[in-house]
Amino acid sequence: MSSSGVSSSGVSSSGSPVRMAPHYCPYCADQDLRPHEQGHTAWECRGCLRVFSLTFAGISGVTS
């Protein structure tokens, strides 16, 4: 756990997932994004009207 109470897996110290906000739409790059009712990881882009989902896959073990 970090000092913020969020583990590296994106789960808070209370056990609930933490919503990480994207900065832009992966389809049109618009920044007008809102949480969507489809679920915890779903986001709605007001620019292109797409709904997309984000998940945290993990931390890569590759070092440079």
Indicate whether 4 pLDDT > 50.
no
pLDDT of 26 reads 95
Place of tokens 């998940």: 55
Pick the residue with more confidence: 29 or 7? 29
User: Quick check: is 11 in a domain?
Assistant: no
User: Quick check: is 13 in a domain?
Assistant: no
Q: How many domains does the chain have?
A: 1
User: Quick check: is 15 in a domain?
Assistant: no
CA distance 22 to 42: 10
User: Quick check: is 12 in a domain?
Assistant: no
Which pLDDT tens digit goes with each residue over 9-64? 455 555 556 667 899 999 999 999 999 998 888 999 999 999 999 888 888 888 77
pLDDT of 17 reads 61
* pTM for the whole structure: 0.60
Which residue, 13, 14, 17, 8, is CA-closest to 41? 17
